[in-house]
Structure 1
Amino acid sequence: MLLGSVLNPVNSTIISVALVPIGRALGAPAAQTAWLVSALYLATALGQPVVGRLIDLFGPRRLFLLSTSLVGVAGVVGTLAPDLGVLIAARVLLGLGTCAGYPAAMALVRSEAERTGRDSPGGVLTALAVANQTVAVIGPLLGGLLIAAGGWRATFALNVPLAVAAVLLGLWRLPKPAPASTPARRGDLVARLDLPGMGLFAATLVSLLLFLMDLHPRFWYLPVITAVAAAAFTVRELRAATPFIDLRVLGGNTPLLATYGRALVAYVVSYAFLYGFTQWTEEGYGLTPFHAGLVQIPMFLLAIGVSLFSGRRPGVRGKLLVGAVGQIVACAVMLTLGGTSPLWLLLLVALVFGVPQGLNSLALQNSVYVQADPGRTASSAGLLRTFAYLGSMVASSATAGSFGPRADTAGMHHLAWLMLGAGVLFALLTCCDRSLGRATTTAGTTPA
């Protein structure tokens, strides 16, 4: 569960220090290498809820093994890629291949709780959040080490042994689905999958994400496609007997919708820092990829400590409020940085960001576990990741728009102002959400 769920964050973050070396090696500017970030999130944002729904219906084992095998294939393709286009294709495969890990883990946690009759799944939710946070933060350092040892291609080759290990562990440990009492007919399976709903969801999300990747008036038709596809998707899901996303239930679950909104805003700040700040430390401040990764160590250490300290404490509201303050303070300090700033100030920014890094993801994950329909735990967890990736796409677009051809200090300050605005919005969404008090009370029966 832990290994499968961290395949996505390790690939999300390890690329942050590889963007500059890849651009230099392949002769691509920052605006083009940004597609290496966008491609993974586009594929994963679409695939997470789809695979999550398949896991809800058919169990995690087959989906986990199939998707994780694709990660190994993507690692080979990326390692041997001759140009940027093939490298982007490898990132798409990685996005699709890492879709099953997190929804499968959440579904297994829920099924184990139901099997044992315990409301609390032990420390697994905390371990899951800590593992994802640890890998997400250590990714830049790991990437710097791999680039120093074997060049940027080593960051793709890493996926091969990870995928092999995950598949072998999955074959050994993941429970096999119980045999059905009567064979399911093909038509019944198709109806339960709601393929038209999935197709309309894909059209809505892809057109929206493509627009977010490059906010330009010449792409005016993309939001039009998004609106039409979203309207058709809504009509379809409200009429379907077994909808892909039950909008009637989701629409009545205001706390869960608020959690998704907070996730989007939180990850705008988180990923803008991860990619934008890291690129600036290399190009605007002059650090090597390895040293740029080392700057992230304070965030790595503090995020782990914060997650472990707060993981078994009940409630989510306090975590979100402290995380909101941490985001705002860190963004404000970023506005004071320049090319001649002392190194300790960069380390201070990373240290402050460790607080929201350790709290927000944990609190959002546990909110979904408490608020979601138990029968749709995997797909609800997938949707959480989808909203997080929407935030990452906004962050990627903001980073590309702020920097242009080079990650200079002026662009970093522009990005910091955008991050500060998103951080303030996150704080307001948290302060004004009265349902968090009820989530806190309910969450007291879980380890979060």
Structure 2
Amino acid sequence: MTALLARLRPSGDANAFDRRLIAPMILGSILNPVNSSLIAVALVPIGIALGAPASETAWLVAGLYIATAVGQPVTGRLVDLYGPRPLYLVGTALVGIGGLLGALAPDIWTLVGARVLLGLGTCAGYPAAMSMIRGEARRTGRDSPEGILTLLSISTQTIAVIGPTLGGLLIGLGGWRTTFTVNVPLALACLVLGARRLPRGTRRDRTTGLAATLDPAGIVLFAVTLVALLLVLLHPAWWPLLAVVVAAGTALAVWELRAAHPFLDLRVLGGNVPLLVTFLRALLAATVTYCLLYGFTQWLEQGRGLSPSVAGLVLLPIFITGIGVAAISGRRRELRGKLLVGAAGQVIVSVLLFFLGDTSAIWFIVVVTLIAGVPQGLNTLAVQNATYRQSDPARVASSAGLMRTFFYLGAIAASTTGGIAFAHGATTPGLHDLALVMLVASALFLVITVADRSLGRLTATQDRATQEDPA
């Protein structure tokens, strides 16, 4: 980690990446994974305290996912238009308000509203960070170093490790409401750092009206399409909503192709096939990752019969290995090799799950989790970096938001798949059904990566561009 930081701004070099941006960038980016992970250990005590069944507490997870999946590209577009500073400050203020509302919520649906507010507020951090990285590259005239992109990836993976543990600690200290209250000091820290360190200024031509540049109609149609799709993924029994998906999606495509300043520039996206393939990779990688995290965890406790504490220890190698692999490989610009190894790792893990049973040895389970950490570290990092490299520079924040939307689609698809596979309990046959889905997704990830030669050309172009002055 020290080596990564050292590469960001050499001593006395005013034309390298500004280290003052690192703290607000990292802190803003982890707000979303913090709120995604803390809630996992709070659902049961919330249900008991507010008298809410599991069908209602599930909306605490779904509400944040839906708000974030829709809000990330919208916020990203606003960042592209107005710069990262105002959106970062507004977003983190919403996080503080959402945390306070959750801490005081008298009933489950007020709490769901707080989670939606948290989801919307946490949308700004990651697109703002990607925009600032691009801005520093433009300011210095150098390609921004891989170090800061690696730090973004490692920070979110670290939260995945400590989030549930931190949540348990907070609940033990002050009850489940502390998992919401913790957002208040985090938001205040972001506001102070953001106000003092983030660059001022905007990229938008102020002679152009807000409605013209923002495309409200496109945003509304996008939101309706995506919310309907997410609801179907979360509740397959609501399949009639697919009619809304088709109608709103068609209207969105027609409108965006005619809009002077489209929210989703379909012509640019359609011509950028490598970026679309990267979005697909994000979806597939998230599907495999969350099938493992959701399903494998349940099986460890119910199918294999491990206690929650032992199951947690068995899962740690996934995250520790993932962070280590990301830290080591993050120094290299090369993307295709990372994705190929990551894809192969996912295939191997999926196959190994078929060999697990109710009496499998702990050492074999640990081997599976150790191997699973390799694609965890490589794919998250490589997909993020590919999005940054392949995006239109003027839309890097909205592209980053779209990438996260595809990631959440994969996470929700994995959650639904787990619910179907474990409809009668987290049994070994159910785990094998889940492994089949993972194998199909990981095999498709591998196939499209083998066929994608643009990644190699992208790296070669970067190397030539920075040959004279590597950052």
**In 2 relative to 1, CA 386–408 (structure 1 residues): closer, same or farther, beyond 3 Å?**
same
C-alpha displacement of 1:443: 4.4
1:327 aligned onto 2:351: no
1:362 matched residue in structure 2: 381
Residues 181-238 of structure 1 show CA distances to partners (whole Å, capped at 9, x for unaligned) of x9x46x711111111111111111111111111112xx34311111111111111111
Please list the CA deviations of residues 285-312 of structure 1 after superposition, one character each: whole Å capped at 9, or x if unmatched: 5555555433332122211110111111
1:242 aligns with 2:261: yes
Partner of 1:126: 150
Letter in 1 for 2:167: G
Please state whether the residue corresponding to 1:312 is helix, strand or coil: coil
Following superposition of structure 1 onto structure 2, how do residues 148-159 of structure 1 map, counting pairs within 5 Å?
148-159=172-183
Match of 2:8? Answer: none
Pair 1:197-2:215 in alignment: no
Q: Residue in 1 aligned with 2:185? A: 161
CA–CA separation in structure 2 for the residues paired with 1:161 and 1:277: 34
Letter paired with 1:199: V
Structure 2 runs not aligned, ≥5 long: 1-24
Judge which range, 89-98 or 249-258, deviates more. Answer: 89-98
Match of 2:277 in 1: 258
Partner deviation per Cα, 1:342-382 (whole Å, 9 max, x = no partner): 43344333222211111101101111111111011100111
8 Å contact from structure 1 (residues 65, 167) kept in 2: yes
CA distance in 2, matches of 1:333, 1:83: 44
Aligned to 1:57: 81
Say yes or no: does 1:116 pair with 2:111.
Answer: no
Alignment of 1:330-345 (within 5 A): 330-345=349-364
Percentage of pairs with the same residue: 59
Matches of 2:265 and 2:29, distance apart in 1 = 25
SS at match of 2:284: helix
| Cα offsets for 1:91-132 (capped at 9, x unmatched) | 212211110000000000001110011023462112112212
Q: Aligned match of 1:414 in 420, 429, 433?
A: 433
- Give the TM-score normalised by the residue count of structure 1: 0.90
Q: Which residue of 2 aligns with 1:430?
A: 449
Q: How do 1:386-401 residues align onto structure 2 when only pairs under 5 Å count?
A: 386-401=405-420
Aligned residue number for residue 5 of structure 1: 29
Q: Distance in 1 between matches of 2:426 and 2:114?
A: 25
Q: Which residue of 1 aligns with 2:162?
A: 138
Q: 1:345 to 1:165 in 2, by over 3 A?
A: farther
* Contact 2:146–2:332 (CA under 8 A) maintained in structure 1: no
Give the 3 Å change call, closer, same or farther, for CA 28–335 of structure 1 in structure 2.
Answer: farther
Check the 8 A contact 1:302/1:354 in 2, yes or no.
yes
2:346 and 2:54 mapped to 1: Cα distance?
25
1:214 maps to which residue?
Answer: 235
What SS does structure 2 have at the residue aligned with 1:296?
helix
Matched, 1:78 2:102: yes
CA contact (8 A) 1:140 1:296 kept: no
**Alignment partners' CA distance in 2, 1:206 and 1:251:** 23
Runs of 4+ in 1 over 6 A off after TM superposition: none
Contact 2:133 2:144 in 1 (8 A): no
1:35 is the counterpart of 2:35: no
Distance 1:176 1:145, change over 3 A: same
Report Cα offsets for 1:263-322 as digits up to 9, x if no partner. 111101112222223334444455555554333321222111101111111211111111
What TM-score does the superposition give when structure 2 sets the normalisation length?
0.86
Cα distance in structure 1, aligned partners of 2:339 and 2:143 = 23
What amino acid is aligned across from residue 232 of structure 2 in structure 1? F
Match for 2:323 among 304, 309, 312? 304
SS at match of 2:185: helix
RMSD: 2.6
Aligned length: 443
Q: In structure 2, do the counterparts of structure 1 residues 417 and 433 end up closer, same or farther at CA, with 3 Å as the change threshold?
A: same
The yes-or-no answer on 1:47 pairing with 2:71 is yes
Could you say if the C-alpha distance between residues 178 and 30 of structure 1 is closer, same or farther in structure 2, counting changes exceeding 3 Å? closer
Checking the alignment, whether the CA contact within 8 Å between 1:334 and 1:413 is kept in structure 2 is yes
Q: Displacement of 1:388 after TM fit?
A: 0.6
| Structure 1, unaligned runs of 5 or more | none
The alpha-carbon distance between structure 1 residues 191 and 208, as it changes in their structure 2 partners (threshold 3 A), is same
Q: Is the 8 A contact 2:102 2:111 kept in 1?
A: yes
